[in-house]
A and B are shown apart, each in its own frame.
Chain A
Amino acid sequence: MAYVAIRGGADAIKGSSRLMDAMRAMGESAPLELDQIERQMPLLHSKVLSEGSLYHPRLASLALKQSLGDSLEAAFFLRAYRSTKPRLGETATHDTRNMRVIRRVSAAFKDIPGGQMLGATPDYLHRLFRFELMDEGAERFDEITRDWLGNRPENDTALTFPKVLDSLREEGLLAPLENSDETPFDITREPLIFPVPRSAQLATMARGETGGLLALAYSNMRGYGDVHPTVGELRVGYVPVMVPHPVTGKPMEAGEVLVTECEIVAMFEKSDDGAPVFTLGYGACFGHNEVKAIAMSVLDRAISVAREKGRIENPSEDPEFVLLHVDGIESMGFCTHYKMPHYVTFQSDMDRLRAAQGKTEEATDAPR
């Protein structure tokens, strides 16, 4: 009987897979095109790109389509695909000053060199339904596009900006930036053995799950921690990817990646030479995902605080607690696995419980 049920398992998997497919196909809706996902759900698409830690916009769209819109599952597709690819080389450090910026804000200064650039953001929109979107046609899209492009000034093209924090450094309010020649820790080729360098910390969070990072960072913001961040600069845009030429070794541009970068300024601490300076937290990820970049920069700062003080006072300051629990692929997988059969271990649990109960009964029955 049990064997019949079990034998049916392989067929059940096949049936389940077909049903998943049928769920997409049944009904009146037309098949989703990959372009539609990338163009009309760019923020969801961005999550998948960064959590999947593979910058492949087209495969990210396919992943979303194939996973029926589950962002954790979709990121997982990219990660698994990553395992089949060798690491071909290493790029030099990329300077985000070269970013072709599409949005850039500072909460620290009203006026920043180059100016604030609000770009596309839902931050100041009223979350009121626009019911007319329930029924849109292609003509409407054309109209919106024409409207927007028609109103744009001629010279409104690609722009790069200086960094807001550079001015703080010039004033001596922030410790000067030292270029590190250390080879960054590659979390895809080495497991995290604690303590880990900051590069491992940043890389782990850069592909962490947005919700996971947010929850831990929020605990710090609310009071289980005291980073008290000010967003020095948050920028979103396209960074040219420079790859060493295989023959000459000279850097050449291989393309560009959409990146969100956040630098937070936190309360001051004594610097190496004794003078107090502001401290910095850094966050960056693929795609347009501001909550993730901000949360990451808060956690980066929180972990650094503990490292500097040599003592951990809050969960968000503990590198093990943060870095081992923010990966969406790992946490989602392990959570899901509890649905699998655990007959043997449960049998073993029952054996122990019965034995322990037996001992208690004996003790109770025994004459006193």
Chain B
Amino acid sequence: MHPVDTMGQTREGAEYGFAFLDEDAKRELRRSIFKAVCIPGHQVPYASREMPIARGFGTGGMQLTLALLGPDDACKVIDQGADDSVNAANIRNFFALTCPGVTGTLRTEEASVIQTRHRIPELPLRADQILVFQVPYPDPLVVVEPNAAKRRRMHGRADYARLWVKLYEDMVAFDEITISHRYPTRINGHYIIDPSPIPRFDVPKLHQADCLYLFGAGREKRIYAVPPHTDAVPITFNDVTFAVENFRDKATGKRHCCRRCGADDSFLDEFLDDDGARVFQCSDAAYCDMRLERLEAAE
């Protein structure tokens, strides 16, 4: 037991144990993780405790991370690809306060557990690394069926006809599949998952990866997994290829590069600089920093 001082709010009269949650809660989480790994893509219901950050801010991912972390782990937290965005900084602070011994790191390659919102790091993850996703909507069928009991039945029967119809309707209306992120992805030939709001750019990284991907939806109380070396295939038609964000300059036809490190293979954030010019920059801050370091070392 050790004192916690969260965000300058001093605490009195309450002691918090390692990793905040009580041991029974962590045990339940670990059992649910095992089940999720054994049935790739299946949404495993779990109790989902309230966290001291609000629902929607990553309580599902946070519970998974708290159940996984031991004192010898190195933990990285990213939001929109960056370690220092407010939510990531906030969650990392919480881990630092409640998990004594755990090392915080900004480097992808150093982390044993990475918690993420909306991105998969650019650097391929290894077998000894786990990526934990924060998930707002665990069920890809929610866009076509609001009733949860019916959706469970549809998943059990791998009845995804209505998702295909939605894609088809897109083609008819726009001549494009309009799903931008949260792209429905079939895992191990059966369950279709919502891969969390990662861009389509990141979806291929789920396929036959070396690392374990864990997904935690706190508010909706579901855990699911894409285990290592598992098929993860975005659903599409034979004659419509799955297209990732292309970052092509409409005028020149060339792909935009990161204005900072020059990368032409990363997912880019697009924004206006102080002069109102449109600029592009790596969304994965650690990747961008690593490239800059290498460029500097090479000089």
Residues of chain A touching chain B, judged by Cβ–Cβ distance below 8 Å, are: 1-3, 6-7, 9-10, 12-14, 17-18, 21, 66, 76, 79-87, 188-195, 320, 324, 329-330, 332-338, 340-345, 347-352, 354-356, 359-360, 363
Report how far A12 CA is from B50 CA in the complex, Å.
25
| Chain B: CB-nearest residue to A18 | B8
| Chain A: CB-nearest residue to B174 | A356
Once the chains bind, are A329 and B57 in contact (CB under 8 Å)? no
- Chain A residues whose CB sits within 8 angstroms of the CB of B20 once the complex forms: 83-84
Once the chains bind, are A333 and B283 in contact (CB under 8 Å)? no
- Chain A residues whose CB sits within 8 angstroms of the CB of B222 once the complex forms: 191
Once the chains bind, are A333 and B219 in contact (CB under 8 Å)? yes
Once the chains bind, are A2 and B281 in contact (CB under 8 Å)? yes
Once the chains bind, are B149 and A195 in contact (CB under 8 Å)? yes
Among B17, B48, B136, B245, the residue within 8 A (CB) of A191 is: B48
Once the chains bind, are B55 and A1 in contact (CB under 8 Å)? no
Once the chains bind, are B48 and A329 in contact (CB under 8 Å)? no
Report how far A332 CA is from B136 CA in the complex, Å.
14
Once the chains bind, are A333 and B274 in contact (CB under 8 Å)? no
Once the chains bind, are B84 and A10 in contact (CB under 8 Å)? yes
Once the chains bind, are A359 and B180 in contact (CB under 8 Å)? no
Task: Judge whether B47 is part of the interface by a CB distance below 8 angstroms.
Answer: yes
Task: Judge whether B175 is part of the interface by a CB distance below 8 angstroms.
Answer: yes
Task: Judge whether B271 is part of the interface by a CB distance below 8 angstroms.
Answer: yes
Once the chains bind, are A191 and B174 in contact (CB under 8 Å)? no
- Chain B residues whose CB sits within 8 angstroms of the CB of A352 once the complex forms: 176, 178-180
| Chain A: CB-nearest residue to B6 | A17
Report how far A252 CA is from B90 CA in the complex, Å.
44
- Chain A residues whose CB sits within 8 angstroms of the CB of B152 once the complex forms: 193
Within residues 265 to 280 of chain B, which ones have a CB less than 8 A from any CB in chain A? Answer: 267-271, 273-274
CB distance from A303 to the nearest CB of B (A): 14
With contacts A9-B85, A193-B45, A344-B118 known, is A337 near B55, CB below 8 A? yes
Among B87, B199, B274, the residue within 8 A (CB) of A348 is: B199
Among A17, A193, A195, A343, the residue within 8 A (CB) of B283 is: A343
Task: Judge whether B147 is part of the interface by a CB distance below 8 angstroms.
Answer: yes
- Chain A residues whose CB sits within 8 angstroms of the CB of B199 once the complex forms: 344-345, 347-348, 351
- Chain A residues whose CB sits within 8 angstroms of the CB of B87 once the complex forms: 340-341
With contacts A13-B89, A344-B80, A348-B180 known, is A337 near B200, CB below 8 A? no
Once the chains bind, are B118 and A333 in contact (CB under 8 Å)? no
Report how far A79 CA is from B54 CA in the complex, Å.
11
6 residue pairs A–B, Cβ–Cβ below 8 Å: A10-B84, A10-B86, A17-B7, A324-B148, A348-B199, A356-B178
Task: Judge whether B25 is part of the interface by a CB distance below 8 angstroms.
Answer: yes
| Chain A: CB-nearest residue to B14 | A81
Once the chains bind, are A84 and B21 in contact (CB under 8 Å)? yes
Among A84, A189, A355, the residue within 8 A (CB) of B176 is: A355
Task: Judge whether B79 is part of the interface by a CB distance below 8 angstroms.
Answer: yes
> Taking chain B's interface residues, is the majority helix, strand, or loop, or is none over half, making it mixed?
loop
Once the chains bind, are B17 and A84 in contact (CB under 8 Å)? yes
Report how far A193 CA is from B46 CA in the complex, Å.
10
Once the chains bind, are B50 and A329 in contact (CB under 8 Å)? yes
- Chain A residues whose CB sits within 8 angstroms of the CB of B45 once the complex forms: 190-191, 193
Within residues 157 to 181 of chain B, which ones have a CB less than 8 A from any CB in chain A? Answer: 174-176, 178-181
- Chain B residues whose CB sits within 8 angstroms of the CB of A360 once the complex forms: 174
Once the chains bind, are A17 and B16 in contact (CB under 8 Å)? no
Once the chains bind, are A83 and B80 in contact (CB under 8 Å)? no
Give the number of chain B interface residues (Cβ < 8 Å).
Answer: 77
Once the chains bind, are A330 and B55 in contact (CB under 8 Å)? yes
- Chain B residues whose CB sits within 8 angstroms of the CB of A337 once the complex forms: 54-57, 136
With contacts A9-B84, A13-B89, A351-B245 known, is A336 near B54, CB below 8 A? yes
Once the chains bind, are B54 and A1 in contact (CB under 8 Å)? no
Report how far A343 CA is from B199 CA in the complex, Å.
10
Among B180, B221, B269, the residue within 8 A (CB) of A351 is: B180
- Chain A residues whose CB sits within 8 angstroms of the CB of B179 once the complex forms: 352
Among A13, A87, A330, A341, the residue within 8 A (CB) of B79 is: A341
Once the chains bind, are A356 and B176 in contact (CB under 8 Å)? yes
CB distance from A310 to the nearest CB of B (A): 14
Report how far A161 CA is from B90 CA in the complex, Å.
52
Report how far A66 CA is from B268 CA in the complex, Å.
40
CB distance from B292 to the nearest CB of A (A): 11
Task: Judge whether B197 is part of the interface by a CB distance below 8 angstroms.
Answer: yes
- Chain A residues whose CB sits within 8 angstroms of the CB of B198 once the complex forms: 344
Report how far A360 CA is from B250 CA in the complex, Å.
15
- Given known contacts A188-B49, A344-B197, what 19 new A-B pairs fall within 8 Å (CB)? A2-B281, A3-B82, A9-B85, A9-B89, A13-B7, A82-B49, A83-B49, A84-B16, A87-B24, A191-B45, A333-B55, A334-B56, A334-B136, A341-B79, A343-B80, A348-B199, A348-B245, A356-B176, A363-B175
Once the chains bind, are A188 and B149 in contact (CB under 8 Å)? no
- Chain A residues whose CB sits within 8 angstroms of the CB of B84 once the complex forms: 3, 6-7, 9-10
Within residues 192 to 241 of chain B, which ones have a CB less than 8 A from any CB in chain A? Answer: 197-201, 219, 221-222
- Chain A residues whose CB sits within 8 angstroms of the CB of B119 once the complex forms: 344
Once the chains bind, are B180 and A320 in contact (CB under 8 Å)? no
Report how far A260 CA is from B283 CA in the complex, Å.
52
Among A83, A194, A355, the residue within 8 A (CB) of B21 is: A83
Once the chains bind, are B245 and A12 in contact (CB under 8 Å)? no
Task: Judge whether B23 is part of the interface by a CB distance below 8 angstroms.
Answer: yes
- Chain B residues whose CB sits within 8 angstroms of the CB of A79 once the complex forms: 50
| Chain B: CB-nearest residue to A83 | B49
Once the chains bind, are A6 and B47 in contact (CB under 8 Å)? no
Once the chains bind, are A86 and B23 in contact (CB under 8 Å)? yes
Once the chains bind, are A344 and B283 in contact (CB under 8 Å)? yes
Within residues 3 to 29 of chain B, which ones have a CB less than 8 A from any CB in chain A? Answer: 7-9, 14, 16-17, 20-25, 28
Task: Judge whether B81 is part of the interface by a CB distance below 8 angstroms.
Answer: yes
Report how far A17 CA is from B5 CA in the complex, Å.
12
Among A188, A320, A348, the residue within 8 A (CB) of B148 is: A320
Report how far A338 CA is from B136 CA in the complex, Å.
11
